[in-house]
Amino acid sequence: MGAGFQLENRYAQIVGCMFIVMVYSSAMPILYFSGFLLSVTMYWSDKVLFLRHYRTPPKYGMELATRSLTIIEYSIALHLLFGMYMLTNPEIFKVDDGKGIAWANSYSMRIGDWMHVTLGSDEKRFQSVHGVIYLFGSLLFFILFFVERTLGALTRLFHLFCCCLHSQYENENFSTNIYQDLSPDDLRYEYAATEQLIIKQERALLLKENLSARPVILYHVESMKLKLKKIKLQLV
């Protein structure tokens, strides 16, 4: 019996590390490799400690993992926003000859003027070829991301064509009710053992030396009776 495995703390660390990597990796690509090493280290260290040090944890549902994954998805949007400002910096990538892309010149000039007024940046930074491509690609992603987050249309479309994957995901999702994971034979055994325990506790209530412990014994008996009700619901 070792220490308890703090799953929620580990998820918080993973989310924080993913945001750091995604936000600054456009200007520092070494962070991709650092994030990979961090993930491998976390995986193997948690695996070894989980098997040899931590106590057996309770069964967790999918809610915590799903929420963490949903939060991590927003790091992609931050990655594009910070990357847009980093990669259009003329000190990192030299601006072309100033002509830019003809069909996007009017849009890039407007955006450049707006960025110059609001952030004080160089108005010509979005007139480069790579800046315009990156900008319109990011806008397309933000539109699809907004549609998915508000309507869930992309997810429903994906599950429509990949229903087998959806059913597999649903099968992996389980309840936190431990009695649902027990076989009928195990449930009957637990029911009989709980009945015997209740009989012993009720006999203990009749003893005079247990008067001081009577409230605790009564609470224990009521808990055992509630357990019997839950087992009955599973056996029906």
Dihedral, 79, 82, 84, 86 alpha carbons, nearest 10: -120
Beta strand spans in the chain (E): none
The position carrying tokens 């098997």 is 51
Can you give the pLDDT of all 236 residues of the chain as single tens digits?
Answer: 567 777 888 888 999 999 999 999 988 889 999 999 999 999 999 888 888 888 776 666 777 888 888 899 899 989 998 888 788 777 777 655 545 556 666 666 676 677 667 766 666 666 666 777 787 888 888 888 888 777 776 666 666 665 554 444 444 444 556 667 677 887 888 888 889 988 988 888 888 777 778 888 888 888 888 888 888 888 87
Q: Which of 184, 198, 197 is nearest to 234 (CA)?
A: 184
Nearest to 138 by CA among 55, 191, 76: 76
**Amino acid letter, 72:** I
Residues 115 and 81 in one domain: no
Number of other CB atoms surrounding residue 185 within 10 Å: 8
Q: Are residues 16 and 81 in the same domain?
A: yes
> Does the pTM of the predicted model rise above 0.85?
no
Q: Note whether 142 and 184 are same-domain residues.
A: no
Q: Structurally, how many domains does the chain consist of? A: 3
Q: Are residues 165 and 145 in the same domain?
A: yes
State the pLDDT at residue 155.
67
Domain finish residue from 155, 176, 197: 176
177-200 pLDDT, tens digit per residue, is 666 767 788 788 888 888 998 898
Among 55, 87, 119, the domain boundary falls at 87
- Enclosing domain of residue 231: 178-235
